[in-house]
Amino acid sequence: MEGKDWETTDILICGCGPTGAMLSAYLGQMNIPHVVLEREIDITTDPRGIALDEDGIRALQGLGLYRSIYTDIGTCMGKFNFISGSSTNLSKEAFIAMDYNTTAGGTGHVGYICHKQPALEKKLRDTMRAYASCSLRSGSTVIDLDEDDSWTYCIYRDAEGMERRIRARFFVGSDGKTGFTRKQYLEKKGVFMERVTDVLYDETWLGYTPEQVYEKFFPPGFRFLCNPSRPAVCGRFGLPSDRLWRFEFFVRPDEDGHHLATREMVQKIVFPLPGDVQFPEDCINILRSRPFAFSARSCNVWAKDRVILCGDSAHVFPPFGGQGIASGFRDALSLAWRLAMLCRYHSCDTRVHHAVLSAWYLERKQQLEQSLAATIENGKFVTESQPLKASARDWYFWLIQFVPSWRRQLELGRRRKGMVRYRYLDGMPFLPDLNGGVNIPQVHGKKSNGEIVFTDDIIFRSQQGGLFQMFVYLHTDEELLEVRKVLQEVEQPSRGTLLAKNVPIIIEKSVTDAEDPNVIKIATGEEFASSPLCNRRPEPKLYDQFALGKEIRGRYCIVRPDRFLFAACNDINELHVAIRSMLAYLHQTGL
C-alpha cells in the first residue's frame, strides 16, 4: 500500500484496558511514538478485576505510581481465608489462612492488593498522557487491518464517525478475548485459543453503604468458601472509603445463571451469608450481577508477522488466583522494551522481528504456565464437590499445620517458590552461564541523605537513556575502590547509551561514612517501616534485606527493563563478555 495518505507511527495499540495502558506507559517512558485506539469514550465504571499481585504492584511502581497505590487505587488484600463446610458465618475459623500482608515474595511489596479497576485505569491513563510520544484516541473502533513486509495498515472510525487511516511498524491487540485483533483478524491466520481446562463459575459484584453496615457485615481479608454444594469467593476491594464487596458463587449444571443473577435470587443466596443477624438488604446497592463462564486458555501463537497479542487477547484465566491483570502487566512490561529495540534498530528486518518475538512468547509461556497451573489447582481446591474428598482435604491441612515449618509454607501461599527463573532456550536475551534469566528481587535502600527508597527506583532511574541498565552489588564498601577502577576501564557501548552513565552501587554493609549519590546502602525492615513509603500499607514482615544478593550471585549486573537479569559478572573479563553479548543481542549482529 502507498504510505503517503496514511498517518504513520511506530506502534499502534488496539484497546486501552489495563494491559494496553501499561504497554503504552512503558513505551512512553522509552520515548517510542505510538497511538492507542480505544472503543469506549470513557473508562468503564464496572469494577471487573479486583486483585493485583506483587508483580503488578512492581510494574505500577516502575511508572512512578507507587504513592497512588494505597491512596487512590486499592488496599492490601490481607489474608486469604479458606473456610470449610456449608456455614454462612464468614467469621468462622479458616482451615488454611495464607498471609499476603507480608513481603516474603521478593518484590518488596505485599502479596496482593484489592483494587477498583476504574481507578487503576485512570492512573495509568494519566501516566500515558504525560508522555509526548503517546496519543490516546478514545471512541475509536478498528474496522479493518492489513499488513505487508514493512507496515501494518489500520482503518478505524473515530469518535466523530469519520474513517481514519494509520500505519504502524507493529500492531498490538490488547482488546480482550473477544476483540477485533484475534477474533476478526488473526483467527483467519491460524491463531486460536488452546483450552487448558474449564471452570464454570458465577460472578456477582456488590457495593455497600453506609459505613457501619459495611464494617459489621463484611470482614476484612478474602474468603474462599469451600462449600461442596455451593463454592464461593468473597471479600472487600478498592479503598476502604469505596465500601465495595465482591461475591462469586458456583452455578450448578441444572441452574440458570441469568436467573441466579436476579436480585431476588441474590437475596436468597448471597445476602444471608455474612451471619445469623438479619441482613440489612435496604442498605445494599448491587452494582453488577451476571453469570460468567471461566476457563483457562492461551493462544497457540502470540505474534504473527507484525501483529501481536497481549493480555486477555492472548490468554484468559479463571478467577481463583488473581492473575488476569497481573499477567497482562507482565506481557506489557516484557514486550515494551523489545518493541523499543525493534523500532530503534530493526524496524524493517522481518527475520529479527520473528526471532525476538518468538523468544518473548517462549519466555512468557514459561511463566504463564506456572501461573495457570497454580490458579487451576486453587480452583480445584475451592470447588471440590465430593463431601468425602472435601472432608479429607480439611483434615489433612488441619493436621500438617502442627508442624511449624509446614504451616509457614502454607501461609506463604504461591510465593514460597521464590522468584521466577526462565529456562534458557535459543534466542532468549540472557546469559544462563552468568546467572541470567532470574527475575531480580527488590529490596529497600538508603541513600546518602538518609532517604529510604526501593532499589528498582535507583537501578531504573533513567529508562530513556537506554534499554538495559547496570548496577553493582557489594557486601561492604571496602570493595568500592576496586569497583570504580573496573567501571572506568569498561568501554562504554558506542552504538547508543545502553548502560546508565552513573552506575548505582548497592552495598550490604557500610564501614565508612563516605557520601556518594551513587552508593545505596541496604535498609532494614525497621527503617522502611518508619519511612513514608510504608504509609497506608503493612510493615515489611518476613522481609529479607539480603534477598537481592542471594539471587543475583554476582557483582556487576546487567538487567533488562522487565526486571530480569541479563548477566551477573564477578570480574572485568566476565563483564566484557556480557557487554559484547548484550550489544550483539540488541543489534542482532549474529543473525
What CATH number is given to the structural domain containing 444?
3.40.30.20
> How many whole angstroms separate alpha carbon 257 and alpha carbon 240?
30
> How many whole angstroms separate alpha carbon 225 and alpha carbon 273?
10
pTM: 0.87
Same domain, 278 and 302: no
Same domain, 444 and 523: yes
> How many whole angstroms separate alpha carbon 97 and alpha carbon 77?
12
> How many whole angstroms separate alpha carbon 345 and alpha carbon 32?
12
Same domain, 286 and 424: no
Answer whether residue 448 is part of any domain.
yes
Answer whether residue 89 is part of any domain.
yes
> How many whole angstroms separate alpha carbon 236 and alpha carbon 247?
9
Answer whether residue 470 is part of any domain.
yes
Q: Give the chain's mean pLDDT.
A: 84
**pLDDT (mean) for 105-117:** 91
Q: Give residue 280's pLDDT.
A: 56
Least confident of 30-44, 459-473, 572-586: 459-473
What CATH number is given to the structural domain containing 165?
3.50.50.60
> How many whole angstroms separate alpha carbon 316 and alpha carbon 19?
13
Same domain, 461 and 350: no
pLDDT digits (tens, 9 = 90+) for 404-444: 888 888 787 777 677 899 999 999 999 999 999 999 999 99
Same domain, 71 and 104: yes
Answer whether residue 2 is part of any domain.
no
Q: Are the C-beta atoms of residues 32 and 10 closer than 8 Å to each other?
A: yes
Least confident of 66-80, 127-141, 195-209, 495-509: 195-209
Answer whether residue 396 is part of any domain.
yes
Same domain, 191 and 149: yes
* Residues 6 or more apart whose Cβ sits within 8 Å of residue 438: 419, 420, 421, 422, 551, 552, 564, 565
Longest dimension (CA), the chain: 75
Domain end call among 328, 352, 380: 380
Question: Is the model's pLDDT at 208 over the cut of 50?
Answer: no
Q: For the chain, percent helix, then strand, then coil, each to nearest 5?
A: 35, 25, 40
Which of 340, 394, 403, 330 has its CA nearest to residue 367?
A: 330
Give the residue numbers spanning the domain of 547: 418-587
> How many whole angstroms separate alpha carbon 362 and alpha carbon 36?
26
> How many whole angstroms separate alpha carbon 350 and alpha carbon 306?
8
> How many whole angstroms separate alpha carbon 580 and alpha carbon 377?
43
Same domain, 104 and 134: no
Answer whether residue 209 is part of any domain.
yes
Same domain, 259 and 397: yes
Phi/psi of residue 462, nearest 5 degrees: -135, 80
Give me 555's grid cell: 557483582
Answer whether residue 63 is part of any domain.
yes
| Residue that wins the pLDDT comparison between 134 and 512 | 134
**Exposed e or buried b per residue across 530-560, where buried means at least 16 C-beta atoms within 10 angstroms of its C-beta:** ebebbeebbebeebbbebbbebbebbbbbbb
Same domain, 189 and 206: no
| C-alpha distances out from residue 575 to 207, 302, 385, 483, Å | 55, 33, 56, 12
Same domain, 354 and 306: yes
Same domain, 485 and 524: yes
Please report the beta strands in 175-257, taking only residues with DSSP state E, as ranges in sequence order: 193-208, 222-226, 232-237, 244-249
Same domain, 181 and 316: yes
pLDDT tier at 298, thresholds 50, 70, 90: confident
pLDDT digits (tens, 9 = 90+) for 42-95: 998 776 778 899 999 999 999 999 999 999 999 998 888 888 877 667 778 888
Number of domains the chain contains: 3
Answer whether residue 1 is part of any domain.
no
Ramachandran bin of 554, using left for φ above 0, alpha for ψ from -120 to 50, beta for the remaining angles:
beta
* Residues 6 or more apart whose Cβ sits within 8 Å of residue 156: 37, 140, 141, 142, 143, 163, 164, 166
Residue 220: cis peptide before it, omega within 30 degrees of 0? no
